[in-house]
Amino acid sequence: MIPSRNGRHLLAAQLPGIFNDLSAPAEVIVVDNGSVDGTAEWLRSDWPQVEVELCRFPLSFAAAVNRGIARARYSHICLLNNDMLLQSGFFAALLDAFRQVPGLFCATAQICFPAGVRREETGKAVMAQNHPDDFPLRCDEPIPGEDLSYVLYGSGGCSLYNAAMLRALGSVDEAYFPAYVEDLDLGFRAWQRGWPSVFVAGALVEHRHRATTSRYFSEEELAEIVEVNYLRFLTRAVASRVLFRELWTQAIDRLWRRRNPALRFAARLALSRQFPAVGPRREKEFLALTSGDVAVFPGKNALRSPLVSFADRLETPPAALLEAHREVVLVRKGNELALCAALQRSEEKWRVRGQMGRPETRGSAPACPET
């Protein structure tokens, strides 16, 4: 499902790749979001197999997406930006993740950029900072051989979702206007319910970054929108009072140091703080799991338990280790909470698949809190 505003030229480049890659029964829905470039008429004449959801006036990204979600009829829904070009095997790789990971909410693709363009996104989204003044979320470079590592959320521009879970969350929260951070909100609220998101290395897309939003907003305006929506996310999604205070303080301090104009919205948003109906389900644990300190590598021995181990560096495991286990999960040394979370996720994953008891660990494992 693709929201598109005056993106006929982008759809013309994208649609052939989509239809070439589809193998299972599917539908392609384009939400024509108030376009004035003849998108709907062109689709009906040149791409009659595309279902068109017409919005007479431009809606926010979330509102437009929700129009498409309401129309979708299949068990999984793929959200695509119109500036994403798919590589062969995209849909098959995302679907396979749902067979590999029980209870999966979202499988998100690996994002590449055109040659010569700095890679601003990778799809491996984690809550971490290189410097206290950085935005609290970043995309890490995937490690060779890494696949199905846990991420905090899937990019709203190239992810496949379990449709029933997506609707159970109330679809995309339309409080995030006009765009950005709504995908973080979705992933976080899913993790609160124990529904994971994973990074799929073999599902590749090339992103023509901000090909739509940059036509309507300046870089400064886009930066402010992201910051305001992040504050909005904290007030709407974080259930733990302790975690909210910690993340809110970090955000306000960072905005103050950078003299960011988003600060003028902080007081009003803080007063609108909501406490989600769903209580905190180990928020600290899943944030540790998706902090960039955990990497998953598929192994080759289906008869052996997975290995979960501390590592000084996150790098491709030796071939002998991959040959000896069905999966190797590396955790950066020192992050004991991440190791606990990885052990629990690994045990749950393989137990549900009926293939193991407890995962193996190297060295002495910390005492993990009860689930």
Q: Please list the helix, strand and coil fractions of the chain in percent, rounded to the nearest 5, in that order.
A: 40, 20, 45
- Is 368 among the domain residues? no
CATH number at residue 195: 3.90.550.10
Residue with tokens 């193996």: 360
In this structure, of 118-122, 248-252, 286-290, the range with the lowest mean pLDDT score is 118-122
- Residue 84 and residue 66 in one domain: yes
- Is 276 among the domain residues? no
Domain around 146: 2-215
Percent of the chain with pLDDT strictly greater than 90: 80
- Is 210 among the domain residues? yes
The model carries a pTM of 0.93
Predicted local confidence at residue 20, as pLDDT? 97
pLDDT in tens, 41-54: 999 999 999 999 99
pLDDT confidence band for 360 (50 / 70 / 90): confident
The neighbour count for residue 330, using CB atoms within 10 Å, is 27
8-44 burial by CB neighbour count: b if 16+ within 10 A, else e? bebbeebbebbeeeeeeeeebbbbbbbbeeebbebbe
- Residue 47 and residue 183 in one domain: yes
What is the count of structural domains for the chain?
3
- Residue 127 and residue 185 in one domain: yes
- Is 121 among the domain residues? yes
Average pLDDT over residues 14-39: 96
- Residue 204 and residue 227 in one domain: no
Predicted local confidence at residue 120, as pLDDT? 82
Average pLDDT over residues 341-351: 92
- Residue 225 and residue 305 in one domain: no
- Is 278 among the domain residues? no
- Is 287 among the domain residues? no
The residue from 198, 215, 232 where one domain ends is: 215
- Is 195 among the domain residues? yes
